[in-house]
Amino acid sequence: MSEVIRAVAPRLVEALRGVVSVAFEHEPGEAGSAEALHATRIAAKRLRYELEIVAPYLENEGTDLLRTLKKVQDALGRFHDDAVLDETLHQAAERASARERPELAKELARIRGVRRHVLGREEHTVTRQLRELAEQEFPATLARSLEEAGVPEAADEKQNVSA
């Protein structure tokens, strides 16, 4: 099994880099922020798939890492769903307005306004969880677990994850 872990380890590290190195360059609520979090969601999905292969062989830490990652991935998924809904409501309101349906456009805009509060809370939650993931030593724990499972170069990669 150590050969499988050794083969998967570089992809784990690469996916982990995509999760923990998200750049918060945009203000919350901006499209750029949603796009960055969507890319992070995809990286988290890749990381989880790879980690599920090796987690059973990483002692107790494998299960803990997977549980932590699943929690973050779920939050990213909820945020993404709400971001898609926000864009859908925006487009529907524009179509209603263009078709001279002011009451429908107004109601869609009202619903979107309410949903944007939820979207803002989701974004705040997920960005906090991503910061905590890095602060809680997730990368170091993963590297240490891989090293203990027979991938000594994982300790070197740990230094490159935040780069």
The CB density around residue 115, as the number of other CB atoms within 10 Å, is 15
In this predicted structure, what is the pLDDT of residue 107?
Answer: 97
Q: What is the mean pLDDT of residues 10-37?
A: 80
Dmax (CA) of the chain: 66
**Confidence at 163, pLDDT banded by 50, 70, 90:** very low
Domain definitions of the chain by residue range: 2-161
**Confidence at 26, pLDDT banded by 50, 70, 90:** low
Looking at per-residue pLDDT, the higher value among 117 and 161 belongs to 117
In this predicted structure, what is the pLDDT of residue 162?
Answer: 45
In percent, the amount of the chain with pLDDT more than 90 equals 46
**Worst-scoring range by mean pLDDT, 87-91, 127-131, 144-148, 159-163?**
159-163
Answer for the pair 16, 45: CB distance below 8 angstroms, yes or no.
Answer: no
Q: What is the mean pLDDT of residues 14-30?
A: 78
Q: What is the mean pLDDT of residues 33-49?
A: 90
The CB density around residue 21, as the number of other CB atoms within 10 Å, is 15
Q: What is the mean pLDDT of residues 4-33?
A: 80
